[in-house]
A and B are shown apart, each in its own frame.
Chain A
Amino acid sequence: MVNLTIDGRAIQAPKGKTVLEVADANGIFIPRLCYHPALKPIGACRICVVEVKPGPPRPLPACATVVNEGMEVVTNSPRVEEIRKELMKLVLINHALECPICDKGGECELQDLTHALAVDKVDLEAVKLAPNHDYESLFVERHPDRCVTCGRCIHVCRDHVGAMAINFMQRGYFTELGSGVLPLDCEFCGSCIDICPVGALINKLWKYRARAWEVDKTESVCPFCGGGCVYELHTKDDRILRVRNEESILLCSKGRFGFPVVEAPDRLKTPLIKENGGFREASWDEALDLVASKFQEIAASDAGAKAIYGIGSARATNEANYLFQKFFRQGLGTNQIDNPGRYTYIRALRGLGTVFGPPEVSGVEQSTALPQPYQSPLTPGAEAKGSGFPFVLGHFDDLPKADLALVLGADVTPEMPPLGWKLLRALDNENFRLVLANPRPTKFDRYAHLSLRYKPGTERILLSGIFKAFFAAHADYAPALSVKGLEEFKETFKKVTLKDVASKTGVDEALIKETAALLAQAQAPAIICGTELLAQDKGEQNAVALADLFLLVGKPGTPGSAVYPVAEKNNSRGVCEVGVLPGRLPGYVPIPEDARGMTLPEMLDKLEAGDPAAPQAVYMLGGDLLRALPHRSRTEKLLKKVPFLVVQDAFLTDTAKLAQVVLPVAVHAEQEGSFISSDGTLGVLPAVLSANGVRPDWQIIGQLGEKMGYKLGASHPKQVFRELAQNMPLWAGLGPKASGPVMPGEVSGTFVPFEADLSLPGRRPHTLIVGKVLNHNGSYTTHAPDGTLKLVPRAELSLNPEDAKSLGLAAGDTAKVVSSQGEISVPVVLSPEMPPGVVFLPEHFAEPPVHLLTLNSNLVRVTIQKG
């Protein structure tokens, strides 16, 4: 702590804080323009100048001056007030007086400052500059005549988003914000818009739709990726007008511009019942009665309740998923449920579970505090501790404390933007090392200290090489954790040679050795893996290999040292934790082997075999299985075989079209509930909009249960959350915005050998990777024509220009992509960064259906022809 005085007031402040921060903390207002708490001090505007003694005779900027012992600061001397006023006049010389139509009016920092400093007239004159307005760019509009050249947007874009899309052009009085190209070609995260103190950058979705003071602000949580960003919904007249993250400003394009999906034109409004091959609209009572009677009929038949299968949803809230599993377990008395995360996220959890064991928590007690909404009624006691795989999963806020991150098979920013922002924070630390392994270049390659470009499908071979090099160089390395089976595990790499690994993976031997050396040195290594790795047929083996690696080098007690598997959707983690799994109750409590239900792939296999145990009815809580699962033609054929399919979805998806009954559901802003983000943070979702005839998932399940005579206790999401959290010691102490599990973990594990083989059979010349693009999440965002669909409106095949040349294809041509499973036609885009022989297609779109090509993995060998 240091002692100083500000305006004569004696103040104690922590070391290293700036004068501005200390003044703010003590309620002393220093005018400022370019300073923003989320950014490092810029020091461009000099409005925050103060007199500092001892110090130079000139005034110093408060935002960039660190407090010292014995410092005397004067914030309001006539001299600094005169300087501020003069500076404001200089800023205002060329500022367009468009406040009545400027969308920033009312929340403009320049307006506020002009009032605060009582600048009533500008007696300076300068050449009027002709502004280069940018009206063409998508989502962002630029008004250079309103710019105050504070540089905030440039800093947020470069340091926090990592896009580096904008910078100043010209110098001095002629300085203006430029992007090099017009229209803007960037990530379209829009963070520059919300950090702009004035209206120089305008959100086009918000433009002219309301004045800043007219909106109601409600804190909510983003419904797209698993990042779980907390943001504010700004609503007026039952419509969302914009979303903002007031705290860190950062949101991605989906979060900021994806909300029009709520008003998508193809939203379902009424329940649909299939009759004579077509759908007819029905009342809620009629549709629910039909489902209830059909379910009762099947339960009473020879097949029994076991013949009804449930598929939960990673989009639905924890409460809806909890009631869903309760409907099956308590109502129907079976464990025939699963969720589509089986093809991605569950593989990571299973891999980690194999090595680190299932979660066990002890020392949890009933909380004595007054019950708060969405606060777990359990609390960890003084002796509380836990073990098992949830305790190696990391919190995003800790990632910047790691000193090494190994990113394997993850295109971090498209899959989960918040994780990318945290990686950029970690890169602030000069001792941090980033090792990036991916078959194709990603955004973080420019920051990576080591880039391993392996051939698609060779992840486990690469990892076996890393293990080999590790054990060769550090034969007596002692893991920080208590481990079992290390010697046997070492044995499995006896036959592995680095030369062989290098030739199979295409990664240089030296790079593998260097990676192993970095891993051995790391004091707080983090491992990040993505869906590109998990969606392979042997995704679980990949996860086991990574878990082994973390068991070897990980230091789970050290902040930042953790595993970060990317959860694809907002509640991918929650749907598993609340027990929508055939073999686990809420909180991953295991079910005896003989009572377990079928997994989703097993269910499909049974349908294919025509097994008598195959389900007579399938109840889906949402999700477009046809679009998300590999081998679409098979999935379609099998789902058509289901005699009675009930789909609860907001849209008439291809999967819903196969259903007998479709129940329209409320989407994120229309329903209350909670999500568990990828890092275990509880996000609470308030109901902001009216549901207009559709119903939230929890209510539909509750009403269906009521009609079938089950008491599910679905009175309100808050009540459901209380009941659910009461049953989950793993969630003890969890509350809104808290990250679980909160008790200290004691992690130990057993090394499990993995299969180091290539999971990409076939002979076709090109390898297709089916993956994700930045501006979409699942198929959800593709339903909103006003949202991010504008940025990426269709699927395009990314192809190396050399490959394209040899195939006779040019950008914009239509290519026919043929695999052993099927063929599709798709437009071509040339991307020089794609390695030769590797092509990429995004999975989000209905047309073309890329999963017609895949078999059991997101990788497939294909032949590309001119189509």
Chain B
Amino acid sequence: MIIPFIKGLATTLRHVFTKPITLQYPEEKRPVAPRWRGHPELTVNEDGRRRCVACTLCMVVCPSNAIKGIVAAEGSEHEKYPVAFQIDLTRCIFCGLCQEACPKAAIKLNNLYELAQYDKNLLYLDIDRATQKKSELRMADWL
């Protein structure tokens, strides 16, 4: 009669002293796998300039039309760079094809996954908001 009760208490006590498997989200965040596909963003060089040359291949390859409005301009050294670039996160399906198509490693999926917003407009990224800001968001295998 008492034995099953003690067994149950023993299980409970064992769990009191073992490491918990739940994560105290949102205070605690789970580190994601290196190949995690977050949302696409434009990467920058060491000098802070975007790598993008506005070749529009990501726009062409994007299956859900999440990338649009790429406008190119000519720089002083005759280089091509984007002056407008829109990423529509409401359409993005996080497939990573843009990253694969990019010849300059200029667009990458980062490790962000908390993308829900109360205001939809926040999910339409213009060129400045689509550009990588936090260096810690870079994954280890990034260029």
Q: Which residues of A are in contact with B by a Cβ distance under 8 Å?
A: 99-101, 105, 133, 135, 207-209, 211, 213-214
B97 within 8 A of A: no
Q: Is the interface of B mostly helix, strand, loop or mixed?
A: loop
Closest chain A residue, CB of each to CB of B55:
A100
Residues of chain A with a CB closer than 8 A to B57's CB: 100
- Quick one: given A99-B103, A100-B104, are A211 and B78 in contact (CB under 8 Å)? no
Instruction: Please give, as numbers and ranges, the residues of chain B lying within 8 Å of A99 by CB-CB distance.
Output: 55, 103
Consensus secondary structure, chain A interface: loop
Kindly list chain A residues whose C-beta atoms are within 8 Å of the C-beta of B53. 100-101
- Tell me which residues across on chain A come within 8 A of B80, comparing CB atoms: 101, 208
Closest to A211 in B: B56
Are the C-beta atoms of A208 and B73 separated by less than 8 Å?
Answer: yes
B42 shortest CB reach to chain A, Å: 14
Indicate the member of B54, B73, B80 with the most A CB atoms within 10 Å: B80
Given contact pairs A100-B104, A101-B80, A208 touches B56 in the complex (Cβ within 8 A): no
- Among A101, A105, A133, A207, the most chain B Cβ lie within 10 Å of the Cβ of A101
Which B residues have a C-beta under 8 Å from some C-beta of A?
Answer: 53-57, 60, 72-74, 78-80, 103-104
| Cα separation A213 to B60 with both chains bound (whole Å) | 10
Cα–Cα distance between A451 and B75 once the two chains are bound (Å): 50
Residues in chain A near residue B60, CB distance under 8 A: 211, 213
24 A-B Cβ contacts within 8 A? A99-B55, A99-B103, A100-B53, A100-B55, A100-B103, A100-B104, A101-B53, A101-B54, A101-B55, A101-B79, A101-B80, A105-B55, A133-B78, A135-B78, A207-B74, A208-B54, A208-B72, A208-B73, A208-B74, A208-B80, A209-B72, A211-B55, A211-B60, A214-B56
Residues of B within 8 A of A211 (CB): 55-56, 60
Nearest B-chain residue to A204, judged by Cβ: B74
Bound complex: CA of A133 vs CA of B78, how far in Å?
11
Question: Beyond the given A135-B78, A209-B72, A213-B60, could you list 10 further A-B residue pairs with CB under 8 A, ordered by the A residue number?
Answer: A100-B53, A100-B55, A100-B103, A101-B54, A101-B79, A208-B54, A208-B72, A208-B80, A211-B55, A211-B60
Cα separation A208 to B82 with both chains bound (whole Å): 10
Task: Tell me the complex Cα distance, A115–B73, Å.
Answer: 29
Closest to A209 in B: B72
| Chain A nearest CB, measured from B88 CB (Å) | 18
Residues of A within 8 A of B72 (CB): 208-209
Instruction: Return A143 CB to nearest CB of chain B, in Å.
Output: 10
C-alpha gap A495/B77 in the complex (Å): 72
Q: Which residue of B lies closest to A105 (CB)?
A: B55
CB distance from A650 to the nearest CB of B (A): 27
By beta carbon, the residue of chain B nearest A100 is: B55
A305 to B96, CA, bound (A): 73
**What residues of B have a CB within 8 angstroms of the CB of A207 in the complex?**
74
- Distance in angstroms from A200 CB to nearest chain B CB is 15
Give complex CA distance A753, B72 in Å: 65
Within 8 Å CB of A100, what residues of B?
A: 53, 55, 57, 103-104
Write out the residue numbers on chain B whose beta carbons fall within 8 Å of the beta carbon of A214.
Answer: 56
Query: Which 4 pairs show the lowest CB-CB distances between chains A and B?
Result: A100-B55, A101-B80, A208-B72, A100-B103
A99 to B78, CA, bound (A): 15
Report how far A208 CA is from B56 CA in the complex, Å. Answer: 11
Question: Once bound together, how far apart are the Cα atoms of A844 and B99, in whole Å?
Answer: 53
- Chain A residue nearest to B72 in the complex (CB): A208
Cα A99 to Cα B80 with chains together (Å) = 12
Q: Once the chains are docked, how many angstroms separate the CA of A214 from the CA of B57? A: 11
List the B side residues contacting A213 at CB < 8 Å: 60
* Residues on B with beta carbons closer than 8 Å to the beta carbon of A209: 72
- Give the CA-CA distance A105 to B80 in the complex, in Å: 14
Q: How far is the CB of A842 from chain B (nearest CB, A)?
A: 32
Nearest neighbor of B80 in chain A, beta-carbon distance: A101
Nearest CB in chain B: distance from A749 CB, A = 59
- Nearest chain B residue, comparing its CB with the CB of A133: B78
CA–CA, A796 and B65, complex, Å: 53
What residue of chain B has the Cβ atom nearest to residue A141's Cβ? Answer: B78
Residue of A nearest to B75 (CB): A208
Q: How far does the alpha carbon of A208 sit from the alpha carbon of B71 in the complex, in Å? A: 9
CB nearest to B77 among chain A residues? A135
Complex: A207 Cα to B72 Cα, angstroms: 10
Complex CA gap A211/B56 in Å reads 8
A101 to B57, CA, bound (A): 11
Q: Which residues of the partner chain A approach B78 to less than 8 Å between Cβ atoms? A: 133, 135
A135–B78 alpha-carbon span in the complex (Å): 8
Residues of A close to B73: CB separation below 8 A: 208
Within the assembled complex, what's the spacing in Å between the Cα atoms of A246 and B80?
A: 27
A211 to B53, CA, bound (A): 12
Chain A nearest Cβ from B90, distance in angstroms:
22
What residue of chain B has the Cβ atom nearest to residue A101's Cβ?
B80
Q: Kindly state the separation between the CA atoms of A214 and B54 in the bound complex, as whole angstroms.
A: 13
Q: What's the minimum C-beta distance from A46 to chain B, rounded to whole angstroms? A: 30
Q: How far is the CB of A234 from chain B (nearest CB, A)?
A: 16
Cβ of A782 to closest chain B Cβ, rounded Å: 26
Bound CA span A846–B59, Å: 46
Q: Kindly report which residue of chain B lies nearest to residue A103, judged by CB atoms.
A: B80
**Cα(A211)–Cα(B60), bound, Å:** 10
Residue of A nearest to B106 (CB): A100
Residues of A with C-beta under 8 A to B55: 99-101, 105, 211
A135 to B, closest residue via Cβ: B78
Smallest CB–CB gap between B72 and chain A, Å? 4
CB distance from B91 to the nearest CB of A (A): 19
CB-CB nearest in chain A for B52: A100
Which A-chain residue is minimally distant from B79 (CB atoms)? A101
Q: Which residue of A lies closest to B56 (CB)?
A: A211
| Minimum Cβ distance to chain B for residue A130 (Å) | 16
In the complex, which residue of chain A has the Cβ closest to the Cβ of B102?
A100
CA distance A208 to B78 in the complex (A): 10
A101 to B53, CA, bound (A): 7
A21 to chain B, nearest CB (A): 34
Complex Cα spacing A135 to B55, Å: 20
Chain A residues with CB under 8 Å of B103's CB are: 99-100
Report the minimal beta-carbon distance from A133 to chain B, rounded to whole angstroms. Answer: 8
Q: Nearest Cβ distance between residue B34 and chain A, in whole angstroms?
A: 27
* Min C-beta distance of A135 to chain B, whole Å: 6
In the assembled complex, the Cα of A213 lies from the Cα of B56 at a distance in Å of 10
Chain A residues in 8 Å Cβ range of B54: 101, 208
* Bound: A100/B70 CA distance, A: 14
CA distance A100 to B78 in the complex (A): 14
Q: Cα distance A307–B96 when bound, in Å? A: 73
- Shortest Cβ distance from A62 into chain B, in angstroms? 34
For residue B61, give the distance in angstroms from its CB to the closest CB of chain A: 12
Task: Give, as a whole number of angstroms, the nearest-CB distance from A201 to chain B.
Answer: 15
Q: How far, in whole Å, are A520 and B103 apart by their CA atoms in the complex?
A: 68
Bound form: Cα–Cα A720–B60 in Å:
42
User: In angstroms, how far is the closest chain A Cβ from the Cβ of B76?
Assistant: 11
**Docked pose: A135 CA to B77 CA in angstroms:** 10
Point out the residues of chain A lying under 8 angstroms from B56, CB to CB.
211, 214
Determine how close the nearest CB of chain B comes to the CB of A575; give it in whole angstroms: 41
Closest residue on chain B to residue A214 by CB atoms: B56
Contacts of A135 in B (CB 8 A): 78
Minimum CB–CB distance for B99 against chain A, Å: 15
- B41 CB, min distance to chain A CBs, angstroms: 19
Q: What residues of B have a CB within 8 angstroms of the CB of A101 in the complex?
A: 53-55, 79-80
Q: How far, in Å, is B20 (CB) from chain A's closest CB? A: 50
Question: Within the assembled complex, what's the spacing in Å between the Cα atoms of A748 and B104?
Answer: 72
Contacts of A105 in B (CB 8 A): 55
Question: Once bound together, how far apart are the Cα atoms of A133 and B80, in whole Å?
Answer: 16
**Min distance, Cβ A210 to any Cβ of chain B, angstroms:** 8
- Cβ of B49 to closest chain A Cβ, rounded Å: 15
Q: Give, as a whole number of angstroms, the nearest-CB distance from B9 to chain A.
A: 67
B86 CB to nearest A CB, Å:
14
* Interchain nearest-CB distance for B65 vs A (Å): 14
CA gap between A207 and B75 in the complex, in Å: 12
Cα-based distance from A214 to B59 in the complex (angstroms): 11
Q: Closest Cβ of chain A: how far from B35's Cβ, in Å? A: 25
* Bound CA–CA A105/B53 (angstroms): 13
Residue in B closest to A213 when the chains form the complex, CB atoms: B60
CB of B75 to closest CB in A, whole Å: 10
Closest to B74 in A: A208
